[in-house]
Amino acid sequence: MMVGLPGFEPGSFPHVADANTLREPKSQKILSKEGINWKDFDKWLQNRLNKAYAAKVRSYAKKYCYILYEPSKASVLSGYPKAKRRNIMAALANLAKFLGIYKDWKEIVSQAGLHWQKTSHLEVFVNMFKTDITEVKTWFKEAVEKLPEKYSTVLALACVTGMRPEEACKSANLLSDLSEAGRLNDYLNAQLNMLEHFRFPGLFIRGCKNCYLSFVPTEVLNQVLSAKPKVTVNALRKALQKAGLPIRIKDLRKLFATTVRDSGVSEEVIDLLQGRIPQNVFLRHYYKPDLLKSVREQVLAAIKSIIEPQLIKT
């Protein structure tokens, strides 16, 4: 028996196992967009997801929530590109959990023949090489020259580590805070020029998008510690717009991966640095001093071509 949900009449949401035979009532909808308490949903998301991703989930959930009360329309998702379909399905899964009807959502997915499709490692590398790296380098140089130091510093950190934009912002903020508190060694392994993100799982370990460690050239590290940038991804995007530049922050991750791969660094090491291996595999096989020392030398040598002297503000 379906338990009544806040704001809904008991029994008003039929089990979607009968979605194919379900007819929408002529007088009123079984569930409506207006019947969802979006403010409470926002709070629910903020307690579980980072701010930027929570906003994306809310946006998709609000736009496609009709699928939860019109299951026969779920097949529309099959026509979307894989990445967009995955984002919409994740948003609806979160909304269904919030409403207490996750089992019904799973049944909708099954009935519509939808599949959760992750980006394969092969697709990652194919996509990586589709990007014109020369153009990205030119954009990066122009952005560093035009942006205020706090923003150009975060761009430089993202560029030489391959971190995602949000991760680079969090890392810069954390370096600034720990430096001011005299606790930099809690995060920075000075012997290896290595940022140990895994020590702060609440910030960098998110299940499917993780960040375990990064090797940072001394020049860029000193720039971060000097500028102490504390910015958000949204603020960085607005700064780029104000400077009249396209927003290509994500392409810096591809620039890093392509550069180190072209220098002979193995795919496994790139997967490690970009968080594409499970946490247990990282701890069991990769977190070893001798191995990390070798990886550090490879990576720092590879990214020398990225950190040209004129790109580092002093």
Closest-CA residue to 128 (of 118, 117, 120, 138): 120
Highest-confidence segment of 130-144, 249-263, 285-299: 249-263
Region 235-245: what's the mean pLDDT?
95
Region 175-189: what's the mean pLDDT?
96
State residue 11's pLDDT score: 40
Whole-Å CA distances, 215 to 166, 256, 269: 17, 12, 12
Q: How do residues 117-159 score in pLDDT, each as one tens digit?
A: 555 555 555 554 556 788 999 999 999 999 999 999 999 999 9
For residue 7, pLDDT beyond 60: no
Q: In what order do the strands lie in the sheet with 214-215?
A: 188-189, 194-195, 214-215
In the chain, the domains with their CATH numbers are: 16-112 (no CATH), 121-311 (1.10.443)
Average pLDDT of the chain, as a whole number: 82
Q: What is the enclosing helix (H) or strand (E) of 215? A: strand 214-215
Q: How do residues 100-120 score in pLDDT, each as one tens digit?
A: 999 999 999 998 888 765 555
Could you tell me if 255 and 137 are in contact, meaning their C-beta atoms sit under 8 angstroms apart?
yes
Pick the more confident residue, 28 or 71: 71
State residue 294's pLDDT score: 86
194 beta partners: 189, 215
Q: How do residues 11-63 score in pLDDT, each as one tens digit?
A: 433 333 343 433 333 323 335 666 789 999 999 998 887 777 888 999 999 99
